[in-house]
């Protein structure tokens, strides 16, 4: 019993001694799990939808000779087209030593629930009736500034202007349409105004006998009836009488477009 | 009595004696001016002078360098001002004069570092092309006072450039009016009838198209997309490529194809020894898809043509690759 006990004790001591054996290796710290990275925070309201963009705004210079570019950092919602926010920033710009406010002494604003619509590269802007306080030249200048600003957006190539939902004319008789505008950068504003004024019907002559060439936006219905699509066209009108303008527009056929083939668009034929 | 009578006769005879026949005495006519001194044949002094004229329709002055011949009978400053009032030479097609027709220099007097210049009353006249209702027209409301400011600054810049003066006081000829001072009034600039005296003229570098100011203006036009104005600062011939300046519409098209220059600052401005080129380093940022893309170290080289600094087209086109 005593021998057996001793043998067991020896065996136990050997085992204990053996457990103390180790190779000549450096004990390395065990690999730990990486720290937990913070996941995306849950959005608070719609704040996560906001993004900051630097936008070029075009405003008339102090001497109203040209349009100058100024840059504004705007907070724009990602789920909305930036055109309306840009336009509101443009209309509310107070001017500075280099540029004048867009409407001068007249405060311009947007009208209606959807004052800015974009279709087929054509942006239609609906200004409130306060724009009618402007002279024709100042309204034209404001329209050029709006056009230059909005056409900085990649999906806007032309701009149509409405005032209180109605197209505006550039003459007293209401015959000369403003048409669809494209940016006229690098040109002096008085020169552009003179070019537009030259299209007016001369005193003593009839609008019907004053030809006009202008860019107009035509709307063609889709072949499947799912909607209409805008297409700006350069049109020569035989005269400036409203009937002549409408008939000349009706006689146009749609052209092939990048996103819609000609077969998808059916023209409206004049009755 | 008999002795005194011959003596009296002798005295009377002696007073009537003369060598030459009597002639009417020459008198000066007070109504005619004294004859001008004969200047023909007098030695003249040739000086190389720098005159400041308006650069096109820009609100700045640019230089024209020429030889000025000064007769010994008048001061150098007087001759300078006469040349300034006469306008730029025919070779400087981009420069224009700033003074109403008939304006003359009446006198020039230097006192220490101060120069007194008296101009004829024509300086107060309006230019022929200024409309009556200029205050109601946005462009003229800026242009009319600007012309007067540039006119006075051209005097100050020319005199401070070529003479040892720091300030210039303008006096205006007064005829048929009673006045307490000949000094130019503040109303010359404001055109509001103000009787306050104008301050002495000092050199205003913000109105002078030095290389640094030209670089600032070019970068400002570029940032503001003011292509028509930027075109005026494009050199007629690009010294780097050797090509002529394109027409304005082609230039505008090329500039519109470039991204927006969001901000820029010109540093340095070393002028070459021959004074024909100046080199700047520009730091700034482009606007690319609504975001700011900074750049550093863009070299802007200006060239001097007929005294006017400008940038070759190659300095403006294709620079967006530098990011």
Global ipTM: 0.72
Q: Give pLDDT, residue B33.
A: 54
From first to last of the 323 residues of chain B, give the pLDDT tens digit. Answer: 566 666 666 555 566 555 555 444 444 444 455 565 555 566 678 888 999 999 999 999 999 999 988 887 888 999 999 999 999 999 888 999 999 999 999 999 999 999 999 999 899 888 888 888 888 888 898 899 999 999 999 999 999 999 999 999 999 988 777 777 888 888 888 888 778 888 999 999 999 999 999 999 999 999 999 999 999 999 999 988 888 999 999 999 899 888 899 999 999 889 999 889 999 999 999 998 888 999 999 999 999 998 899 999 999 988 776 55
Nearest CA distance, A71 vs chain B (angstrom): 7
For A125-184, how does the pLDDT look when each residue is reduced to its tens digit (9 = 90+)?
999 999 999 999 999 999 999 999 999 999 999 999 999 999 888 888 888 888 899 988
Among A54-58, A208-212, B44-48, B319-323, name the most confident range: A54-58
How much is the pLDDT for B286? 93
Residues of A in contact with B229 (CB under 8 A): 66
Q: Do B290 and A54 touch (CB under 8 A)?
A: yes
How much is the pLDDT for B73?
80
Which of B142, B251, B255 is nearest residue A63 as measured by Cβ atoms? B142
Residues of B engaging A, defined by a Cβ cutoff of 8 Å: 138-139, 142-143, 223-229, 231, 248-249, 251-252, 255-256, 260, 262, 287, 290-292
pLDDT at A26 over 70: no
User: Could you tell me if A129 and A111 are in contact, meaning their C-beta atoms sit under 8 angstroms apart?
Assistant: yes
Predicted confidence (pLDDT) per residue in B261-318, tens digit: 999 999 988 999 988 999 999 999 999 888 899 999 999 999 999 889 999 999 998 8
Q: Which residues of A touch B231 (CB under 8 A)?
A: 186
Q: Residues B79-84: contacts with CB within 8 Å, 24+ apart?
A: B80/B49, B80/B51, B80/B158, B80/B159, B80/B162, B80/B163, B81/B105, B81/B108, B81/B117, B81/B155, B81/B158, B81/B159, B83/B49, B83/B51, B84/B51, B84/B52, B84/B53, B84/B154, B84/B155, B84/B158
By C-alpha distance, the chain B residue nearest A99 is B224
Name the β-bridge partners of A167. Answer: A162
**Nearest residue to B86 via CA among B110, B62, B68:** B68
pLDDT at residue number B109: 93
User: A225 vs chain B: nearest CA distance in angstroms?
Assistant: 35
Residue of A51, A52, A59, A63 to mutate, interface with B, max B Cβ within 10 Å: A63
Chain pair A-B, CB pairs under 8 angstroms: 56
Contacts of A2 (CB under 8 A, 6+ apart): none
Q: What is the pLDDT of residue A258?
A: 39
Are the C-beta atoms of A143 and A195 separated by less than 8 Å?
A: no
Question: DSSP characters for A119-186?
Answer: ETTEEEEEE-GGGGGS-HHHHHHHHHHHHHHHTTSTT--EEEEEETTEE-BSSTTS-SB---B---TT
Task: Give the closest of A53, A185, A190 to B290, CB-based.
Answer: A53
Q: Which residues of A touch B (CB under 8 A)?
A: 53-56, 58, 61-71, 98, 100, 185-188, 190
Specify the pLDDT at position A146. 95
- B interface test, pick of A69, A76, A154 with most B CB neighbours within 10 Å: A69
Selecting from A56, A64, A66 the residue whose C-beta is nearest the C-beta of B229 gives A66
Nearest-Cα residue of chain A relative to residue B248:
A186
Per the structure block, which two tokens stand in for A164? 């209180």
Q: Do A186 and B139 touch (CB under 8 A)?
A: no
* C-alpha to C-alpha distance for A24 and A32, rounded to whole angstroms: 23
Nearest CA-CA distance, residue B86 and chain A, Å:
29
CA dist., res. A139 & res. A146, Å (int):
10
């Amino acid at each position: 019993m005593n021998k057996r006990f001793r043998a067991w004790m020896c065996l136990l001591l050997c085992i204990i001694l053996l457990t103390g054996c180790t190779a000549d290796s450096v004990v390395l710290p065990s690999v730990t799990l990486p720290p937990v990275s913070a996941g995306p925070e849950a959005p608070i309201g719609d704040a996560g939808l906001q993004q900051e963009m630097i936008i070029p705004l075009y405003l008339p210079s102090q001497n109203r000779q040209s349009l100058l570019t100024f840059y504004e950092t705007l907070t724009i919602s990602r789920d909305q087209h930036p055109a309306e926010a840009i336009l509101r920033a443009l209309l509310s710009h107070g001017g500075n030593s280099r540029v004048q406010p867009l409407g001068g002494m007249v405060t311009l604003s947007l009208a209606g629930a959807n004052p800015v619509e974009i279709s087929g590269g054509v942006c239609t802007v609906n200004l409130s009736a306060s724009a009618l306080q402007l002279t024709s030249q100042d309204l034209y200048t404001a329209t050029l500034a709006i056009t230059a600003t909005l056409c900085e957006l990649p999906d806007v190539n032309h701009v149509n202007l409405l005032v209180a939902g109605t197209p505006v004319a550039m003459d007293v008789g209401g015959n000369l349409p403003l048409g669809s505008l494209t940016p006229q950068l690098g040109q002096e504003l008085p020169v552009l105004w003179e070019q537009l004024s030259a299209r007016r019907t001369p005193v003593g002559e009839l609008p019907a006998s004053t030809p006009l060439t202008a860019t107009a936006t035509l709307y063609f219905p889709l072949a499947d009836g799912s909607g209409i699509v805008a297409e700006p066209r350069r049109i020569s009108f035989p005269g400036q009488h409203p009937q002549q303008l409408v008939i000349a527009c009706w006689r146009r056929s749609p052209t092939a477009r990048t996103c819609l083939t000609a077969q998808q668009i059916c023209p409206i034929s004049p009755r | 009595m008999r002795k005194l009578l011959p003596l009296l006769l002798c005295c009377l005879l002696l007073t009537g004696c003369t060598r030459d026949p009597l002639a009417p005495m020459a008198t000066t006519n007070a109504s005619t001016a004294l004859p001008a001194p004969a200047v023909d044949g007098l030695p003249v002094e040739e000086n190389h002078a720098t005159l400041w004229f308006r650069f096109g329709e820009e609100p700045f002055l640019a230089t024209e360098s020429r030889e000025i011949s000064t007769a010994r009978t008048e001061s150098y400053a007087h001759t300078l001002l006469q040349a300034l009032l006469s306008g730029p030479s025919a070779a400087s097609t981009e420069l224009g004069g700033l003074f109403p027709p008939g304006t003359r220099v009446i006198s020039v007097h230097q006192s220490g570092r101060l120069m007194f210049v008296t101009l004829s009353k024509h300086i107060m006249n309006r230019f022929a092309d200024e409309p009556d209702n200029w205050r109601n027209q946005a462009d003229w409301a800026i242009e009319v006072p600007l012309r007067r400011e540039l006119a006075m600054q051209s005097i100050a810049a020319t005199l401070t450039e070529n003479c040892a003066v720091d300030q210039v006081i303008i006096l205006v000829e007064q005829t048929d009016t009673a006045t307490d001072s000949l000094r130019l009034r503040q109303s010359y600039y404001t055109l509001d009838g103000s009787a306050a005296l104008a301050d002495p003229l000092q050199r205003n570098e913000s109105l002078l198209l030095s290389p640094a100011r030209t670089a600032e203006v070019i970068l400002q036009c570029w940032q503001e997309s003011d292509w028509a104005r930027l075109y005026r600062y494009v050199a007629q011939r690009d010294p780097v490529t050797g090509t002529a300046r394109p027409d304005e519409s082609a230039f505008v098209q090329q500039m519109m194809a470039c991204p927006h220059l969001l901000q820029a600052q010109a540093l340095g401005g070393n002028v070459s020894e021959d004074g024909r080129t100046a080199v700047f380093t520009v730091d700034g940022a482009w606007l690319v898809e609504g975001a700011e893309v900074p750049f550093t170290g863009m070299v802007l080289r200006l060239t001097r043509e007929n005294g006017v600094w400008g940038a070759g087209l190659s300095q403006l086109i294709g620079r967006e690759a530098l990011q």
